[in-house]
Amino acid sequence: SYYTCVDQELCIACGSCGALAPDLFDYDDEGIAYALLDDNQNRIKIPNVLEDDLLDAYDSCPTDAIKLTKANTTE
Ligand code: F3S
């Protein structure tokens, strides 16, 4: 499993991540994305059921703004 956050300096508000993973990403007033579950803190493990959405969003981001950190467990 993974943790995630958005590098908001890199996000260009393309809107792809929230479309592909609406439970994981939302946007601020300027359309800049942030990770929903932990307010972009890279702290809460992404539930396994949302992992496909997460990876789709990660792959879709045109500026590689979405950061993934592999959780250090065997879950
Ligand atoms: Fe931004 Fe990438 Fe999402 S550009 S809106 S973090 S897909």
**What pTM was computed for the model?**
0.93
User: Where are the strands (E) in 1-75, listed by range?
Assistant: 2-6, 25-27, 33-35, 66-70
Please check the confidence at residue 17 and state whether its pLDDT lies above 90.
yes
Question: Mutate which of 7, 9, 16 to test ligand 1's pocket (most atoms within 8 Å of Cβ)?
Answer: 16
54 close to ligand 1 (CB < 6 Angstrom): no
Report the nearest-CA residue for atom 2 of ligand 1.
61
Predicted local confidence at residue 72, as pLDDT? 77
- Ligand 1: which atom is nearest the Cα of residue 6? 6
Please check the confidence at residue 59 and state whether its pLDDT lies above 80.
yes
Place of tokens 């479309």: 19
CA distances from 10 to 14, 33, 47, 62, 65 (A): 11, 10, 25, 10, 5
Report the nearest-CA residue for atom 4 of ligand 1.
11
Rounded Cα distance between 39 and 60, Å, is 21
